Amino acid sequence: ASAHVVVVGGGFGGATAARYLRRYLPEVKITLVEPAQRFYTCPFSNLYLAGLRSWESIGHGFDGLRKLGIEVVHASAEGVDAAARTVRLSNGSTLKWDKLVLSPGVDMQWNKLNGYDEAAAELAPHAWKAGPQTQLLKRQLEAMKDGGTFVMTIPENPFRCPPGPYERAAMVAHYFKQHKPKSKILLLDAKTAFSKQALFMQGWKALYGEMIEWIGQSDDGEVVRVDARKREVETAFGQIHRADVLNVIPPQKAGFIAERAGVSNGSGWVPIKGDTFESAQVQDVFVVGDATIAAPMPKSGFAANTQGKVVAAAIAAQVRGQDLPAASYANTCYSLIGPGYGISVAGVYRAENGKVIEVPGSGGVSPLDGDQRFRQAEARYGEGWYAAITADIWG
């Protein structure tokens, strides 16, 4: 019988893997398991908060993948039996696979931050998975009075999208500047430094003056307790901050199916082989995207997309008994600070001795002395990137 590849998760990594598997292995059956009928992207969800993008414009369906002959099953994977090579679904069925790809993204580590559980997230949204949480945060921002304070708490590394919180701060500032100019934004960070920091701080100041205040770990920015009902947070040294809108981005881990498949380790994340993204612990199970330990690659949609392509090529080579192609990975994270003001960080990666390494001399960040035309061009590149990658994945 011909092979069957099952892909779990129809987000950035999984949908890419399914599409490129179809391209490289036209004769093989491919099934994509994803509960959502429509996938809403975290990329550009901050622009939705700013009022610069509609909700519908960041949603993508699965008809494009179906048209290619990929079977899409709207269910959740509940369990994996690696010895029997099966995956059990929430709709009661069990699929048998020859190769399994997991791209489940992240789950929140409830209660790791004292007081922050699923119920608390209904009052103080994380909005770190695009969906009802993002829409809740937007409604809260819209209901806030002018002169209110928006407080965001930011976790330690590693977490999904290192520049994401700081782009969100800028996009909320854009919204406030238009509609509630007396309001404040307070960022409480468990880290001492962050991605593209100098560029963000320069852009925040240029566009929003003193509206955004960032407090790093060394200045008592680390939040250790959340009271979502009172919209209060407490820092490591006991300082209480009160918010009118509270956005808690909690510590994260690989999506739950990773643990059930036996591919995650004590860190909560998934160790992989750097040249194939096959699990380092379970043969024939491949894992891509945010769930993996792929540093120095960041947890980004762009990274998940290039990892998905490498996995498709690796599985195709294994199924055909061919030599593995040399893996190459890339990433660019664009961030929008205001309309016509974009910045970016880029890198190119390859595998060496089973580890992912950054190619020396590749990538870098936007110049700090970039002029307005440069920032404008990068804002346009960001839009082009979004259109291109979503077409590449779900189009």
Binding site for ligand FAD (CB under 6 A): 8-14, 33-36, 39, 42-43, 45-46, 76-77, 103-105, 128, 160-161, 164, 168, 255, 257, 289-291, 299-302, 304, 333-334
Q: Which residues of 155-192 are buried (b: 16+ CB within 10 A; e: fewer)?
A: beebbbbbbbbbbbbbbbbbbbbeebeebbbbbbbbbe
Taking the complex as a whole, the smallest distance from the CB of residue 295 to ligand FAD amounts, in Å, to 13
Are 394 and 379 contacting, i.e. CB atoms less than 8 angstroms apart?
no
Judged by beta carbon, residue 115 or residue 301, the one nearer ligand FAD is 301
Nearest residue relative to ligand FAD (C-beta): 11
Taking the complex as a whole, the smallest distance from the CB of residue 302 to ligand FAD amounts, in Å, to 4
Taking the complex as a whole, the smallest distance from the CB of residue 239 to ligand FAD amounts, in Å, to 26
Residue 287: strand pairing partners: 102
Taking the complex as a whole, the smallest distance from the CB of residue 41 to ligand FAD amounts, in Å, to 6
Residue 344: strand pairing partners: 334
Judged by beta carbon, residue 104 or residue 250, the one nearer ligand FAD is 104
How is residue 47 annotated by DSSP?
H
Judged by beta carbon, residue 103 or residue 183, the one nearer ligand FAD is 103
Taking the complex as a whole, the smallest distance from the CB of residue 17 to ligand FAD amounts, in Å, to 9
Taking the complex as a whole, the smallest distance from the CB of residue 269 to ligand FAD amounts, in Å, to 11
String of DSSP letters for 219-249: GT--EEEEETTTTEEEETT--EEE-SEEEE-
Judged by beta carbon, residue 76 or residue 140, the one nearer ligand FAD is 76
| Residue 87 three-state SS | strand
**C-alpha R_g of the chain:** 21
Helices (H) and strands (E) in the chain, counts: 10, 25
Judged by beta carbon, residue 103 or residue 153, the one nearer ligand FAD is 103
Judged by beta carbon, residue 227 or residue 378, the one nearer ligand FAD is 378
